Amino acid sequence: MQITQLPGAVLNELGSGIPRSTGLHQSDIIKDISATMFGEKGHWDYAAEPGFLWEDVFSRAWADREHKEGVIFRPEEVEKDGISISPDGLFVPNTATDAGLLLVEYKYTWQSSLKPPQDRWEWMTQLMGYCWVLELSRARLHVFHCNGDYRENRRPQYLEWEIGFEEWEMRENWDMLVNHAKGKGWL
């Protein structure tokens, strides 16, 4: 799928209510590589239910607000090279002077906020894969660290980053995912 213009319709239902197909998903490949690299569970953050809730609430909050910069909506699942992706959102600017479409992802994590997202292999692999398939080069990451930085009070922290990727690194990332899936016989 090429995103060269605004999608035809903004979905009414946001968050985890969007059905996921039964095929091969990018997250399955990332989890398998992570388990190979880092041990049985890998470094993938297993805060699934709170994560779905965070994603749902944040998606709805953004969809219900009027933003002077643009709108965020949840796109349908997209497939490329036999691998499906399910991005949390796309930011569509209101004016042509804005930088253009932007991937939006929400994370809920037990991990410390002291470690920047660029040091989280699974997150960066996921974001680069989504951007490659959607033909984007930038992502905005919204992260809720439920225990903050794990210092004294362990207060929750919400942090936001905008991250850009080079075409060559997204292509290499995607090739790694496709080659891993082929090596496993999934493709």
Q: Which pLDDT does position 33 carry in this prediction?
A: 92
Which of 59, 69, 48 minimizes the C-alpha distance to 15? Answer: 59
Sign of torsion over alpha carbons 20, 24, 27, 28: positive
Q: How many CB atoms lie within 10 A of CB 52?
A: 15
Determine the Cα–Cα distance for residues 120 and 125; give it in Å rounded to an integer: 9
Whether 88 contacts 78, CB under 8 Å: no
Length reported for the chain: 187
Average pLDDT of each block of 10 consecutive residues along the chain (187 residues)? Answer: 35 44 90 83 54 67 64 88 94 72 89 88 96 96 86 83 96 98 96
Write down the pLDDT at residue 12.
31
d(CA 15, CA 156): 22
Closest by Cα among 121, 119, 111 to 129:
121
